[in-house]
Structure 1
Amino acid sequence: MGQTPEAGGPCRVVTHEGQDYALCEAEAGQDLRLFLTAPDGRPYGTFQRIDAALEPVGQRLVFAMNAGMYHSDRRPVGLYIEDGAERAPIVTSAGPGNFGMLPNGVFCIGEGRFAIVESRAFAERRPGCRHASQSGPMLVHRGALHPRFIPGSESRYIRNGVGVSADGRRAFFAISAGRVNFDEFARFFRDGLGVPEALYFDGNISRLHAPGLGRRDGGFPMGPVVGLVGPR
């Protein structure tokens, strides 16, 4: 995997198997959060609204991306925990679409570590998460690619997701520069980043806010957003 040096802070551009990815990294203990509902009771919907809400307290979004699938009213499809409060319940049954392609999983921001936990295991153990978002499918689970991924598949989209290091100390957020299939995207996490667990967030509507890379993607309003917060 080649790396392009960028003045992007925790974000950079990397290349794997000829495909470029914007990659942002968070370390355990940093102020990584999930965002959904603004103080006025409406979904934030955009990176700009989140950044504006942080400004009065002297903070800003260092980077952010959409962080899970959502209904037309922007309610999360599966489990959603924000600042310790569960806003939507976990879904453990198989279903249509990418979310229901089991195994799916939960990205968990805990105290001092990150985790990606397969959804049924999460429901049984209920690990403590300050923030959590369920999505699917799992891209990588226990070091193996999802069994339903097809090498050479023509189902290609701009895709984004998250991977967590084996020690739980680092989380990697990636979005493809071009259209990739599930197999290619999952291999980026497993082979390019060496992570044992990775989770798909979404495709087609995938967006990134990374001012250090000159990225402030716009588009249709989003549901859950994950973002690293820092001083303004």
Structure 2
Amino acid sequence: MFRTFLAGALTAVLGLAVGPSAAAPAPEPACRTVRFEGDGFVVCRYVPGEGELRLALNGPGGPLGNFVALKAALGPGAGRVAFAMNAGMYEPDRAPVGLFVEAGRQVAPLNRATGNGNFYMAPNGVFWVDAEGRPHVDETAAFAGLGAKPRWATQSGPLLVSGGALHPRIVPNGTSLAVRNGVGVKDGQALFVISDRPVSFGRFARFLKNELGCPDALYLDGTVSALWAPELHRRDDQTGLGPLVVVLKGAGR
């Protein structure tokens, strides 16, 4: 009996487990697939303080253009990649059509011109991240009036959702179908979305508004949309991409 008591005492003193231990909860994956109206959408989450968001355009030899070049540019940091995605519209030379800010440096100015195409489908807007890492989506004119000094920013269009309302010119189920991607903000987080297959503008916008509950969301592009998500064992091989967004695991400086 003494030996039994002694063993029990040692267990208590040393803090040894005597029964099944509760497993630590698994971290939430960076990206997940969500079904909506019969289609699949990959949703990748950026949370300030848990990850580090960067925008990238050029490498040592010019425009990066694809995820292989992005991986090489990141060097050892590529092991921290949670996900990466194309991040805005660009000219034939892959220069951004609108505002692009990289690490606090303005690469391209805010574009308030009118024109044809998705970028100019007013209202368009700006996705930007402030010095504290907080993400925002603002209509272009509203952003211009903020006097903001973003650390990272990309301008695109149209605004799919603004103030909880869908873009007035987006029809519910148009005939133009494409693999599309965009970004919405909700509760201080950024939700990057790419469709699994070609979908209409309307369905894509409804997904961000109705399924994800984003009060503000910006269209990034279509047809050229691409994703690199290591946890999903996916790295799309599109080339000729313009601006890119990458989120790294762990908070950066």
2:47 corresponds to 1:27: yes
Question: Who is 1:196 aligned against?
Answer: 215
Relative distance call for 1:152 and 1:84 in structure 2 (3 A) is same
Residue 45 of structure 1: SS of its match in structure 2? coil
Q: CA deviation at 1:203?
A: 0.4
Question: Who is 2:183 aligned against?
Answer: 162
Q: Is the 8 A contact 1:103 1:119 kept in 2?
A: yes
How do 1:63-74 residues align onto structure 2 when only pairs under 5 Å count?
Answer: 63-74=83-94
TM-score by length of 1: 0.91
Question: Who is 2:58 aligned against?
Answer: 37
Residue 184 of structure 1: SS of its match in structure 2? helix
Question: Who is 1:3 aligned against?
Answer: none
**How far apart in 2 are the matches of 1:58 and 1:225?**
14
Any stretches of 5+ residues in structure 1 without a counterpart? Answer: 1-6
Any idea what the Cα deviations from partners look like across 1:141-200, whole Å, max 9, x if unmatched?
0000000011221111110000001x3x21001100111111110100000000100000
Q: Percent identity?
A: 48
Q: CA deviation at 1:230?
A: 3.1
Question: Who is 1:120 aligned against?
Answer: 141
Relative distance call for 1:58 and 1:205 in structure 2 (3 A) is closer
State the one-letter code of the partner of 1:211.
Answer: P
Q: Is the 8 A contact 1:22 1:175 kept in 2?
A: yes
**How far apart in 1 are the matches of 2:98 and 2:147?**
14
Q: Is the 8 A contact 1:54 1:60 kept in 2?
A: no
Relative distance call for 1:181 and 1:156 in structure 2 (3 A) is same
Residue 31 of structure 1: SS of its match in structure 2? strand
**How far apart in 1 are the matches of 2:232 and 2:121?**
33
**How far apart in 1 are the matches of 2:177 and 2:65?**
25
Question: Who is 1:4 aligned against?
Answer: none
2:1 corresponds to 1:12: no
Q: Is the 8 A contact 2:180 2:222 kept in 1?
A: yes
**How far apart in 2 are the matches of 1:48 and 1:192?**
32
Residue 121 of structure 1: SS of its match in structure 2? helix
Residue 62 of structure 2: SS of its match in structure 1? coil
Question: Who is 1:184 aligned against?
Answer: 203
Q: Which runs of 4+ in 1 moved over 3 A?
A: 56-60
Any idea what the Cα deviations from partners look like across 1:196-217, whole Å, max 9, x if unmatched?
0000000011000011112100
Q: CA deviation at 1:123?
A: 1.3
Question: Who is 2:4 aligned against?
Answer: none
**How far apart in 1 are the matches of 2:28 and 2:231?**
4
Q: Which has the higher helix share?
A: 2
**How far apart in 1 are the matches of 2:200 and 2:135?**
26
Q: Is the 8 A contact 1:34 1:131 kept in 2?
A: yes
Moved more, 40-49 or 54-63: 54-63
The alignment of Structure 1 onto Structure 2 pairs a total of residues equal to 222
Q: CA deviation at 1:26?
A: 0.6
- RMSD over aligned CA atoms reads 1.6
Q: CA deviation at 1:127?
A: 1.6
Any stretches of 5+ residues in structure 2 without a counterpart? Answer: 1-26
Q: Is the 8 A contact 2:71 2:78 kept in 1?
A: no
**How far apart in 2 are the matches of 1:225 and 1:125?**
24
**How far apart in 2 are the matches of 1:22 and 1:81?**
26
**How far apart in 2 are the matches of 1:228 and 1:134?**
18
Relative distance call for 1:95 and 1:58 in structure 2 (3 A) is closer
TM-score by length of 2: 0.84
Q: Is the 8 A contact 2:173 2:201 kept in 1?
A: no
Relative distance call for 1:98 and 1:57 in structure 2 (3 A) is closer
